[in-house]
Structure 1
Amino acid sequence: MKYLLLLLAWPVLGQKSVLDDYIATAFQQNITLQQKNIQVEKAMIALKSAQSLYQPTVAFQGGYQSGQGGRSIAFPVGDLLNPVYSTLNALTKSTAFPQIANVETNFFPRDFYDVKVQTSMPLYNKDISYNKQIQEQSISLQREDASLYKRELVKQIKTAYFQYLLSLGLQKVYENALNLAIEGKKVNEKLLANGKGLPAYLLRSDSEIANIQAQMADASKQSQAAQMYFNFLLNRELRADIRIDFEVEKALNAAYNVTPGAREELSLLSKSIGLQETVLKMNESFYLPKVSGFLSLGSQSTIYDINAKSAYYFLGLQMDIPIFTGKRNLYKIKQSQLDIASARNTLDLSAKQFTMATEIAQKNVQSSLVSFQASTKSFEAASAYLRLIEKGYKEGVSTYLETVDARNQWMNATINYQLKQFNVLIAAAAYEREAASYPL
């Protein structure tokens, strides 16, 4: 009954365990999580960039132009004014009005410069406001995505750690079984020396020892693989030592009331819908005017004629109102509406799927607990049976084949006990993941 309490609870232990320390290390060092954090930082920079659009833009601009030849335009000022000047000279009987020549001017300016400081600033533009909201929502999405990966990472780390402990436990089982087999061989050698044993028993002992050694080698490979994968998740050296001072019994007997947390997947979908709704609002505001202003302060003249009169200012307003765009804006609005409808359906379906997954994970914990309880009884019975048979064999009551069978039963029961024990912890980690109960 005490194990069934785990159905209602599988958070962390009351005090931080070595596993919690490893999880905290992974939160700092895991490469994928670091990439997620970089994406959050990029989203924050994008928000600052969007906010800067409200501020004026100031730029210095300068230009110099000079040319000769090409097209020209003639001004017949001489033809127009010389007759007038002649008449005036005749009336005044003087030469006060000299004759002037016609003027021909090229289009190209000669030694002309224009330098200015130009300032422009948006005065009314709803797109900037909506863009800022979108960037703020993007930051929230990136953070939620990082939390989602943390949640999955916790499960992977716990599962990898339990598998590593399991591999060590199996190695210990095979080691004990090997010691028993070696001890059995020694007993057979003594019995054979005293004329009570059979040579076939020694061959059977050698075969048993070789079989266990092969299983030990396989368990060692599995342990190394589990060690490397666990260290990979923590972004550590693959052969780094792993602390094994984890209180398995305390974990199995832990009983805490758990209030399932909010799943990051659902929050991510909800926030994604909010972002799409902002995009829809921005698309719907296409008819609103965009107003901006500008001011230029500068100087322009020829290089040889720089004076106070060459300074100038130039300011103005600019308005942009769309009239016809081939209904492209209306199509964008319709697409946004369909995207929102699809996202809401996905949210509703995902909520039901996650509820089902949580209940299945809970039942898996219950099933693994029942199996563990059964394996515990089988292990205790096999251990007691092995002690009786070995004692009887030494006393000549039991046969050697009964001893071998008892050892095999004990080894299989012990292996099954180890498997079922850690299956409970692995199933509990999966339930914890589905319930989103581990504090991030």
Structure 2
Amino acid sequence: MRFVFITVYVLSNLLFFQSARGQTVLDDYIALGLKNNLTIAEKNLSLDKAMLNLDIARSMYLPTVSFDALYSTANGGRMIELPVGDLLNPVYQTLNQLTQSQAFPMINNERINFLPRNYYDAKVRAGIPIINTDIKHNKRINEQAVQMREHEVEIYQRELVRDIKIAYYNYWSAEDGVKVHQNALNLAKEGKRVNEKLLEAGNGLPAYVVRADAEIAQAESKLVEAEQQMANARYYFNMLLNRDAEQPIKQQPTTAQDLGQQYADLLIEGREELEALNNQINVQETMVKMNKQVFVPKLNAFVDVGSQAENMRFNRESQYVMIGAQLSVPIFEGGRNKLKIRESQVAVAEAQQHRLRVQQQLETAARVANNEVTSTIRNYQNAKKQLEAAGTYQRLIQRGFNEGVNTYIETIDARTQYTNAQLAENLALYKWMIAVAKLERETASYILD
């Protein structure tokens, strides 16, 4: 299936990424998070284990050398009768008569035990596989397993990079929100001061002073809430970096003047999820090949160098060298090999279908992330216009109030609109950044070291 190109509307020179200082700050935080994360450390251990299994599979091609020793002694058991006396004594007797001597003494029959006494067999055996297709397939399977573990590490790293970026932007947004609420509180206090002066001059109303106190209390309440949100954002960010929750966060101020965008074509084929599924398909295909070669003979060669004798004797007669080969050819297994082949083929088809389904899900997620970037850009542009309008309106109402044209209630409403517009613009800006971080994750475009 052809990979689908996803045309995305993305930021190319967002000030945060343009600023060398800002980029360094966030990249340093990302590097710290990737280094300190406990889950990544655990997954790296799994990767190390998979690499060790691969080394073991490769070592199966090498010869094996072992030392084997056997000692046994027995009493009783089966006996063999050797009638050497009955066979040779008549001959010896005749020879003695002919020679008029006793040169040929009589001998007894012998009984030899099958089980030896004080017997040992010590040897060094060197063996090597000559024909064994299972070793090749096992090595291939372990190679794919290593690649899958590597992809698992990279997948989690990308998830962590996205979470760190989003947490960083959320903290940044929360801090800017605190500044907006602090400014609103200062304006409310200034409004109270002006109303108190007007009341002292006989041009104000006591109700305006009371209303100013209520506005100050409301602004202080929102400021406390904003500060708590900022603290929570700091805790979460530091948790992702696996460091002290109260540790301060370096920041890089940003403005909207340098924000920009461009069109780019990005592929999802770089997603490690798809690569891992490709490895899984390769594993199942290797299993099919291995099961199809079940009737291929297995041939091993060996060399034994050792010594064996009774009564722990060790001399030239006890020493030996043995060279041999072992051949194994399966003939009939009750049809189990055909069932295994079919089972492996079904597993291949299942893995291929799973990959297609995951690819469709990733393509959909990338399109959704692309649409989110587009919508956040428009929302930010609209919020910027609303902020400009609210700022102009607030200045006009404040001027009218100072000139006695507008009421104090109108100034409160104008300040509230301006504060909300500032918050909306701030939120839209960082939603834009967060949407870019999500799109970066969905297209696997962040470069991992």
Q: Which amino acid aligns with 1:398?
A: N
1:176 alignment partner, one of 177, 183, 198: 183
For residues 395 and 246 of structure 1, do their structure 2 counterparts lie closer, same or farther at Cα, with a shift above 3 Å needed?
Answer: closer
Alignment TM-score, normalising by the size of structure 2: 0.88
1:193 is displaced (CA, Å) by 3.5
* Counterpart residue identity of residue 315, structure 1: I
Letter paired with 1:338: V
Structure 1 CA distance, aligned partners of 2:255 and 2:90?
119
Distance 1:347 1:143, change over 3 A: same
Structure 2 CA distance for aligned equivalents of residues 288 and 409 of structure 1: 82
Instruction: In structure 2, give the amino acid aligned to 1:208.
Output: E
1:286 maps to what in 2? 294
**Seq. identity, %:** 44
**Tell me, which stretches of 5 or more residues in structure 1 are unaligned?**
none
Aligned counterparts of 2:51 and 2:257: Cα–Cα separation in 1: 43
Answering whether residue 106 of structure 2 is matched by residue 99 of structure 1, we say: yes
- Which residue number in structure 1 is paired with residue 432 of structure 2? 424
Deviations 1:185-224 (A, max 9, x none): 2223333334444444344333322322222222222222
- Unaligned runs of 5+ residues in structure 2 are 1-6
Aligned to 1:115: 122
Shift of 1:124: 0.5
- For 1:57, the aligned partner's letter is T
- The number of equivalent residue pairs is 436
Alpha-carbon contact 2:10-2:436 (below 8 Å) kept: no
Name segments (4+ residues, structure 1) moved above 6 Å.
none
Name which of 293, 317, 325 aligns with 2:325: 317
Look up the match of 2:97. 90
What secondary structure, in the 3-state scheme, does the structure 1 residue paired with 2:67 have? strand
After TM superposition, the score normalised by the length of structure 1 is 0.90
Question: 2:288, 2:341 within 8 Å by CA — same for their partners in 1?
Answer: yes
Are the structure 2 counterparts of residues 344 and 409 from structure 1 closer, same or farther at C-alpha, using a change threshold of 3 Å?
same
Deviation at 1:316, TM superposition (A): 1.0
CA distance in 2, matches of 1:373, 1:212: 27
Aligned partner of residue 286 in structure 1, secondary structure = coil
Provide the C-alpha distance between the structure 2 equivalents of 1:14 and 1:206, rounded to a whole number of angstroms: 44
1:134 aligned onto 2:141: yes
Aligned partners of 2:305 and 2:321 also within 8 Å:
yes
| Secondary structure of the structure 1 residue equivalent to 2:259 | helix
Structure 1's 57 and 299: CA in aligned 2 closer, same or farther, altered over 3 A?
same
Secondary structure of the equivalent of 1:308? coil
CA distance in 2, matches of 1:410, 1:103: 121
Backbone CA RMSD of aligned residues: 2.6
- Decide whether the 8 Å contact of 1:11 with 1:256 is kept in 2: no
Distance in 1 of aligned mates of 2:337 and 2:295: 9
1:277 to 280, 285, 302: 285
- How far is 1:119 from its partner? 0.8
**Structure 2 counterpart of 1:86, which letter?**
Q
Match of 1:224 among 221, 231, 235: 231
- Which position in structure 2 is the counterpart of 1:399? 407
Match runs of 1:30-179 below 5 Å? 30-69=37-76, 72=79, 74-179=81-186
- Corresponding position: 1:364 with 2:378: no
Deviation at 1:312, TM superposition (A): 0.4
1:7 aligns with 2:9: yes
Match of 1:28 in 2: 35
Cα displacement (A) at 1:304: 5.0
One-letter amino acid of the structure 2 residue matched with residue 397 of structure 1: V
Distance 1:297 1:11 in 2: 74
Which is further off, 250-259 or 368-377?
A: 250-259
> Would you say the 8 A contact 2:117–2:311 is kept in 1?
no
* Stretch of structure 1 that moved more, 69-78 or 221-230: 69-78
